[in-house]
Amino acid sequence: MQTIRAISFDLDDTLWECEPVIRRAEMSLLRWLHERCDHLAQNYDMDAFMARKDAFMRANPQLHGDVSRMRLALLEDLLGECGQHAALVQEAYAHFYTMRSEVQLYEDALPALERLRERYPLAALTNGNADLQRIGIAPLFQRIFYASLECPAKPDAHMFAETCRDFGISAHELLHVGDNPYTDVEGARRAGARTVWIKRAEMQWPAELAPADVEISDLNELLGVLGM
């Protein structure tokens, strides 16, 4: 891959396992809400809370590309049931966001990123909203893009194109690394970038998609691919 001049990374399930983080954050948020609102404590256990969240998401497809706004809107709707507790929305969101950003990096992630940044400018491109400052890896990335209503989520080409523009490179000079065959690999390919599928979990590649340029199981393999 001699023509690669920059590398972009997905975050959730690429640099850390996401599902346990979100589950813990949801549970912590619900406990926080129960402590402050008797109505929610009496009417929403975790199953009811998740059902309410799922229903709200289905009813608000216009927010699907912005997980932060979706979460805030859900909390506004939920706390609106509590009358005097409606003012807690921002505080509730801050609690969730703190817990959502308590991640455990995969063992290979930090050492590989530190080595890669010595040779390449790095960008983070995420459809999520983890706080990289809190996690401690923000300084490794020259650019960080979060999906929002103004910055369309992958597989839209927007984040890939903005990365190339900021780094002053052509699309084929960007290498994107991610776990999701559709949003990461297919999205990057359609944007003209080179692709790496990192297969962190046991999953099969979708038969309807052409394979990524490179398949790896951890970032140490990427170092080898790049001759490092």
Which has more confidence, 139 or 204?
139
pLDDT class for 19, splitting at 50, 70, 90? very high
The pLDDT of 93-120, averaged and rounded, is: 96
CA 65/CA 128 separation, integer angstroms: 9
Going from N- to C-terminal start, the domains of the chain cover: 6-17+104-225, 19-100
pLDDT class for 87, splitting at 50, 70, 90? confident
CA angle 186, 56, 135 (to 5 degrees): 55
Per-residue pLDDT, 203:
85
Per-residue pLDDT, 84:
65
Six token digits for residue 91: 């505080």
Per-residue pLDDT, 100:
95
pLDDT class for 138, splitting at 50, 70, 90? very high
- Name the phi and psi angles at 159, rounded to 5: -65, -40
* pTM greater than the 0.85 cutoff: yes
As assigned by CATH, the class of the 6-17+104-225 domain is alpha beta
Mean pLDDT value across the chain: 95
Is residue 37's pLDDT more than 80? Answer: yes
CATH fold of 19-100, please? Four Helix Bundle (Hemerythrin (Met), subunit A) (1.20.120)
